[in-house]
Amino acid sequence: MTNQRIVAHFKESAELKMRAAEELAQPIEQAVELMFLALSNGNKIMACGNGGSAADCQHFAAELVGRFERERLPLPAMALTTDSSILTAVANDYSFQEVFSKQVQAFGQSGDILLAITTSGNSVSVINAINAALERDMRVVALTGKGGGTVNQLLSDADVHICVPHDRTARIQEVHLLTIHCLCDGIDSALFGGDVDD
């Protein structure tokens, strides 16, 4: 019984990934172009999200500041999910809904990118960060699912919406992580060309 449940998770995840590849390849490519252009111009990428998506933000920033698969100079990416003093001060003195938007207002500059990760597309802390980014003339790459929720109403053609075609949070997160690795690989390929050399 347990074994069947495990196999069912693997099957559902694999099937979704194959299906999502068709739908998401184009927006992921657009996101790589947007990110590469920003990094080439000396801008940075900031990432925000809650719970498992907070971990995704940190994973992404680590691969840009450290490395993905190839040796290169550190690239400027930061997770807005890590400074417990900022997070607790803003949540305590204002509201949790402002924990990311305050940081976008503090650190964001025109031309920077916000990587906004929310499986529902409805987390208010992430929605507020998107609005703060757009107000600062930043571009937004949103990773969502479940139809995209409120995020649909905020983005324009200058932004990129990568919406995983599924309703289950865990499955959506699994595709978000794969997408993050595609973004890292795309940025490295834009820097160095197509082949991984190790």
Ligand X SMILES: O=C(CO)[C@@H](O)[C@H](O)[C@H](O)[C@H](O)COP(=O)(O)O
- Binding residues, as ranges, are 50-52, 59, 63, 92-93, 118-120, 123, 173, 181
- Applying CB under 6 A, the site for ligand X has a residue count of 12
Q: Point out which span in 99-107, 158-166, 168-176, 184-192 binds ligand X (CB under 6 A).
A: 168-176
Residues near 131 by beta carbon (within 8 Å), at least 6 away in sequence: 101, 154
* Mask for 43-72, x = binds Zn ion (CB under 5 A): ---------x--------------------
β partners of residue 163: 144
Q: Which is nearer to Zn ion, 55 or 190 (CB)?
A: 55
Give me the helix-helix angle, 169-192 and 2-40, nearest 10°: 40
CA–CA dist 180, 60 (Å, integer): 6
Binding residue (CB under 6 A) for ligand X from 119, 134, 175, 182:
119
Amino acid at 14: A
- Closest approach of Cβ 55 to Zn ion, in Å? 8
CA–CA dist 24, 125 (Å, integer): 25
Radius of gyration of the chain (CA): 17
Q: Which is nearer to ligand X, 38 or 104 (CB)?
A: 104
- Closest approach of Cβ 92 to ligand X, in Å? 19
Residue 101 in the binding site for ligand X (CB under 6 A): no
